[in-house]
Amino acid sequence: METNLIQKLFGVGAHYGLNSSRRHPATKRFLFGAKGGVELFDLEKTADLLGQAVEFVAKLAHERKTILFVGGQAQAREAVARTAQALGQPYVASRWIGGSLTNWGEIRKRLNRLEEISTMKESGELNKFTKRERLMIDREAADLELMFGGLRGLTRTPDALFVVDPRAEAKAVTEAKQLNIPVIALLNSDCSTDGVTHPIPANDASRETIQFILAEISNAYSTNLGAKPEANGNSGAN
């Protein structure tokens, strides 16, 4: 076991779970005790599972697969969006819209509309509309950007999800499970592991922990990115 990794996890407070009364039975195997009523993660197990997740991400990167990053909670939004943008991957850093995976055709229509409005703005075509009509179109664009902006560039369902707090993002995990899409998840002691193929048990309420885990995932993806294939119409995110 890499002692240095365990020390780093400890340094960012990854070992802190939640009160024992909030524990989900599925996370019991990741815990080793409690302090002051707060359960503590076994960081040896966390480090081992993080290593497995990193290996999986490296494989995805080598094959240039698409990872959809999901984290709409306040402590995760900024880091999730920043990480995905740096990797050129799609993300949802706001409320998950039901059907984003299972009703992809409808979501694609919304994205097409967002692109249509963006093109109209750039070409000056909006000038043919009245002031009131332009205002309504601007509002529509703002709403679409808020809900779907992070999915721009995604042309099909992703190859995997990275989720911060699968309890809060249960709808996303459920949709991924329905479509047999693998899910990597940073999860606290109150989370179910159902639908999570690569759990990373740690403190998902800590910005420091979230940023550290995302940095590990980001590094694994960026340093193992395979050669870009010739255009064949099957690409996910740019």
Q: Between 235 and 99, where is the model more confident?
A: 99
Helix 3-11 with 207-222: angle, nearest 10 deg: 140
Q: Is the pLDDT of residue 238 over 50?
A: no
**What are the residue ranges spanned by the domains of the chain?**
3-27+41-101+157-222, 104-151
| Whether CATH 1.10.3470 fits 104-151 | no
Q: How much is the average pLDDT of 178-193?
A: 97
Give the CA count within 13 Å in the CB-facing half-sphere of 218. Answer: 18
Q: Is it true that 3-27+41-101+157-222 and 104-151 share their CATH fold? A: no
Considering the domain 3-27+41-101+157-222 in this protein, what is its CATH number?
3.40.50.10490
pLDDT at 233 (0 to 100): 46
Chain mean pLDDT for the chain: 93
pLDDT digits (tens, 9 = 90+) for 5-18: 999 999 999 999 99
Q: Name the band, by pLDDT with cuts 50, 70 and 90, for residue 231.
A: low
pLDDT digits (tens, 9 = 90+) for 24-63: 999 999 999 888 889 999 999 999 999 999 999 999 999 9
Give the CA count within 13 Å in the CB-facing half-sphere of 82. Answer: 10
